[in-house]
Amino acid sequence: MSKPTDLVQGTLDLLILKTIALEPMHGWAIAQRIRRVSNNVLQVNQGALYPALHRLEQQAWIQSKWGESENHRRAKYYSLTKAGQKYLQAEESNWERLSSAIGLVLKTV
Q: Which tens digits make up the pLDDT trace of 58-89? A: 999 999 999 998 888 999 999 999 999 999 99
Could you tell me the pTM of the whole model?
0.86
- In the chain, the domains with their CATH numbers are 12-108 (1.10.10.10)
Contacts by 96-103 with C-beta closer than 8 Å and gap 24+? none
- For 24-50, the pLDDT digits (tens) are 999 999 999 999 999 999 999 999 999
Contacts by 43-52 with C-beta closer than 8 Å and gap 24+? 43/4, 43/5, 43/6, 44/7, 44/12, 44/15, 48/7, 48/12, 49/12, 49/16, 52/12, 52/13, 52/16
- Decide if pLDDT at 55 tops 90: yes
